[in-house]
Amino acid sequence: MNDTQNRVCPHCETVNRVSTEKLSDHPICGSCKKPLLTGEVLELKRKNFDLYIDKNDCPVLVDFWAPWCGPCRMMSPVIAEAAKALQTSVCVAKLNTEEEPELATRFGIRSIPTLMIFRNGKMLRQHSGAMSLSSLMQWIDSSLT
């Protein structure tokens, strides 16, 4: 029997059921026919945050950031590299705390950048402050094992 997982389409936000064996075969959305795994960082907003956190079976890494924050801007290419490297196993997203202060308050964000890993709708772990790509990958790995 094939193991499957739900993936939210980054284009039309339809929930798709995908065989885990097919994740490396560039699956497409059953609704909009666009790629489900883009290797790009998702932009989360209040209207789609819970959908991505609750409906994706893969872990979701969220970078809470703001455009005026120097360390956040330094983390941007690191987050982008992580999204490419992890596209079949982890959904990588960013949330602008300036545009979505309600979500920042909901999760008690007091400093940025703050990274959180969610699985099955629950926050597993968080980290405040910038880090290198190797440190980020190590942190993600240790958070998920």
Find out whether 65 and 75 touch, Cβ atoms under 8 Å.
Answer: yes
Total tally of structural domains belonging to the chain? 2
Q: Could you say which of 9, 58, 72, 91 is catalytic?
A: 72
- 72 as an active site residue: the answer is yes
Query: Which residues in the chain land under pLDDT 50?
Result: 1
Q: What is the mean pLDDT of the chain?
A: 95
Phi, psi of 32 (to 5 degrees): -100, -10
66 and 16 in a single domain? The answer is no
80 and 61 in a single domain? The answer is yes
* Residue 51 zone, left/alpha/beta (φ > 0; ψ -120 to 50; rest): alpha
pLDDT at site 2: 59
pLDDT at site 86: 96
- 12 as an active site residue: the answer is no
The model scores a pTM over 0.85: yes
CATH number for 23: 2.30.30.380
67 and 22 in a single domain? The answer is no
Q: What is the pLDDT of residues 78-112, one digit of tens each?
A: 999 999 999 999 999 999 999 999 999 999 999 99
